[in-house]
Amino acid sequence: MKLGVITEPEGENRVAIVPNSIPKLNKVGFEVLVESGAGTSSNYSDAEFESKGASVTSRGDALSADILVTIHMPDSSQLKRGQVIACVADPFRHPERVRECIDSSITLLSMDMIPRRLSRAQSMDFNSSQDNLAGYKAVLMGAAHIGKSIPMMTTSAGTVKPAKFVIMGSGVAGLQAIATAKRLGAIVFASDVRKSAAEQIESVGGRFIEVEGMDDFEDESGYAKPLTPEFIQKVNDTVCEVAKDADVIVTTARIFGRPAPITIPADAVSSFKSGAVIVDMNADVGGNCELTEAGQIVMHNDVTIVGIENLPGTIASTASMLYSNNLTNFVTSLMIDGEFTMSMEDDVLVGADEGSDFHVPGMGGVLICSEGAIHPKQSRLSEVVE
């Protein structure tokens, strides 16, 4: 079976498959076709792909493969009827992509729908692998934009106090941000609406910011639940008070399929100290800071707000390697005796049954649509598309 890898759109430096994944794909029966230059921006050459067993070819040949693996979903006009595509489709924010696939009888496998609590799917979990890198890079960006050192230093000229970081949200990205800031020598405070996160925050060196009346606002999939406006206000007020004298504030709060919640209102920014830096990790979905401008680094009242949209893409070589591992583990699991097989009993593909620990109501798994229809377990998505 032919598997195609193409150059991603302008501005995306990652590539979906890296050379070291080729032997594993070949071993289970995939013939890998890589568009010439697809890995250049992430420092993987055509020669490396060929040396590992891939065929370097034209974009047209790669696009015509039986299964296409990408990061961003290609324009539907580039796809062929009956094709399988594995990518990050973000279907709840872009239902038109699902509709186009249905109309063209394209099987859409959306990697951002991996059931993260299913143990077998953890090695395929795109969200975790890329969020980890994003949390790391957010701290480095914050450190690069402040005009002071991070760790405590004792010198003959005097003692330098450590920088103070505040991390808003402590999921995968947040925990990595806490750990990275701590390794740099900062004093780190962190918040989360999930009370269970306190132990995790402290385990990587952070100090938990507790909000009065906090409960464990976590859904079955491990994501934060939507909160009431009143409690959001209380969280914002409490954490922003702690952040008033912080040097770097990193925001990580993201709700699956919804706009990013505002965790730093505009009026809070004016209370932050001069020279502070806000790194907003969710600029691509509206931003956690009310003053964030997507894709921009801006100043408000001497506070720098970093709104870079694709943080993993700024570490393209590592990010590509991890995503390639996720994709390779996923697609090779579907190759049975040399045949690409999508079983409706596969919990990774279609989600678990009602009542299972892994079930997310109306969400299902990675398989979004095939044979011209949305999978029955995707009831929430059906409503969005219709």
Task: Answer left, alpha or beta for residue 301, where phi above 0 means left and psi between -120 and 50 means alpha.
Answer: left
- Whether residue 33 lies inside any domain: the answer is yes
The more confident residue out of 116 and 357 is 116
Q: Please tell me whether residues 265 and 148 are part of one structural domain.
A: yes
Shared domain for 147 and 276, answered yes or no, is yes
Same domain for 357 and 211?
no
Shared domain for 336 and 298, answered yes or no, is no
Decide if 216 is catalytic: no
Band the pLDDT of 71: cuts 50, 70, 90: very high
Task: Summarize pLDDT for 143-201 with one digit per residue, the tens.
Answer: 999 999 999 999 999 999 999 999 999 999 999 999 999 999 999 999 988 778 899 99
Q: Is the pLDDT of residue 362 over 50?
A: no
> Which of 46, 90, 112, 125 is the catalytic position?
125
**Structural domain count, the chain:** 2
Amino acid 223: pLDDT: 56
- Residue 125 appears among annotated catalytic residues: yes
Neighbours of 218 (CB within 10 A): 17
Domain termination site, one of 291, 310, 329: 310
In the chain, pLDDT over 90 holds for what percent of residues?
Answer: 70
Q: Is residue 54 within 8 Å of residue 83, measured between CB atoms? A: no
Is residue 104 one of the residues assigned to a domain? yes
- The catalytic position among 44, 136, 223, 323 is 223
**What is the Cα–Cα distance from 187 to 347, expressed in whole angstroms?**
42
For residue 338, is it within any domain? yes
Helix (H, G, I), strand (E, B) or coil at 338: coil
Tens-digit pLDDT profile for residues 309-341:
999 999 999 999 999 999 999 999 999 988 999
pLDDT, one tens digit per residue, over 5-51 is 999 999 999 999 999 999 999 999 999 999 999 999 999 999 999 99
120 with 201, same domain: the answer is no
Domain boundary at 261, 295, 310, which? 310
- Phi and psi torsions of 154, nearest 5°: -110, 115
Judged by average pLDDT, the poorest of 84-93, 250-259, 349-358 is 349-358
Residues 31 and 105 occupy one common structural domain: yes
Output the CA–CA distances (angstroms, integers) from residue 199 to 179, 206, 207, in the order listed: 13, 9, 10
Are 27 and 87 in a shared domain?
yes
For residue 121, being part of any structural domain is answered with: yes
Q: How many whole angstroms separate alpha carbon 229 and alpha carbon 265?
A: 13
Question: Does residue 356 surpass a pLDDT of 60?
Answer: no
Question: What confidence score (pLDDT) does residue 220 get?
Answer: 58
pLDDT given for residue 261 in this prediction = 87
Confidence label for 361 from pLDDT (cuts 50, 70 and 90): very low
| 341 lies in the same domain as 231 | no
**pLDDT value, residue 225:** 60
Spell out the SS3 assignment of 268-336: HHCCCCCCCEEEECCHHHCCCECCCCCCCEEEECCEEEECCCCCHHHHHHHHHHHHHHHHHHHHHHCEE
Average pLDDT over residues 49-67: 97
Q: 77's torsion region: left (phi>0), alpha (psi -120 to 50) or beta?
A: alpha
In this prediction, residue 218 has a pLDDT band, given cuts at 50, 70 and 90, of low
**Residue-level pLDDT at 359:** 43
> Phi and psi dihedrals of 132, rounded to 5?
-55, -50
CA distance 103 to 90: 18
User: Out of 64, 78, 104, 122, which one is annotated catalytic?
Assistant: 122
Helix, strand, coil abundance in the chain, percent, nearest 5? 35, 20, 45
In a domain, 161, yes or no: yes
Catalytic residue check, 223 = yes
CATH number, domain containing residue 74 = 3.40.50.720
In degrees, to the nearest 5, what angle opens at C-alpha 40 toward C-alphas 78 and 325?
80
User: How high is the mean pLDDT of the chain?
Assistant: 90
My answer on whether 323 and 198 are in the same domain is no
Tally of CB atoms within 10 A around 196: 11
pLDDT at residue 252 in the model: 95
Catalytic residue among 116, 131, 136, 176: 116
Question: In this structure, is residue 379 part of a structural domain?
Answer: no
User: How would residue 357 be classed by pLDDT, with cut points 50, 70 and 90?
Assistant: very low
Last residue of a domain, one of 310, 327, 343: 310
**Do 228 and 333 sit in the same domain of this protein?**
no
193 and 105 share a domain?
no
Range of the domain at 353: 2-125+317-372
β-pairing, 107-110 vs 335-336, is: unpaired
Residue 381 lies in a domain: no
Q: Do 90 and 232 have their domain in common?
A: no
Look up 116 and say whether it is catalytic. yes
